Amino acid sequence: MKESSLLKIALACSLVGLGILYLISEKIEIKDYKPTRLNENIGDDVSLKGVVTKITDAGNAVFIEVNQDNPVTVVLFANNNNLKLGSGDKIEVIGEVQEYNGRNEIIAQRIRIIG
């Protein structure tokens, strides 16, 4: 086979693959976190919007208490900590729900300040 034919086949396969990945990515959805559903979301990636009520810096991790309807603990590890938060800030957290000492908490993957 000629090199030009192989190049055309490789380009066509790449474009088809990118199209398939785009279609799959449209179907991915992050659930809104509802703290009233105990132990139902453990291991799921969720989205949480609320107001920061308390921030505790433990050195290698920052514990952020976010008040939605009930207070929820969000854990942000130090290697991700380049965000300046204050009490009263409205934030959106995307992360994974984990259980620690019988309580649900969210291990933050991304935090952003909204409004």
* pLDDT given for residue 85 in this prediction: 80
Q: What is the pLDDT along the chain (115 residues), one digit of tens a residue?
A: 688 899 999 999 999 999 999 988 887 777 776 665 545 667 778 888 889 998 888 778 888 898 877 788 889 886 655 668 888 889 988 888 888 887 888 898 888 888 7
Q: What is the pTM of this model?
A: 0.65
35 is a domain residue: yes
8 is a domain residue: no
94 is a domain residue: yes
What total of structural domains would you count in the chain?
A: 1
| CATH code (residue 42) | 2.40.50.140
Dist CA 62 CA 54 (whole Å): 10
Query: By the 8 A CB rule, do 113 and 90 touch?
Result: yes
Domain extent at residue 85: 31-113
* pLDDT given for residue 38 in this prediction: 47
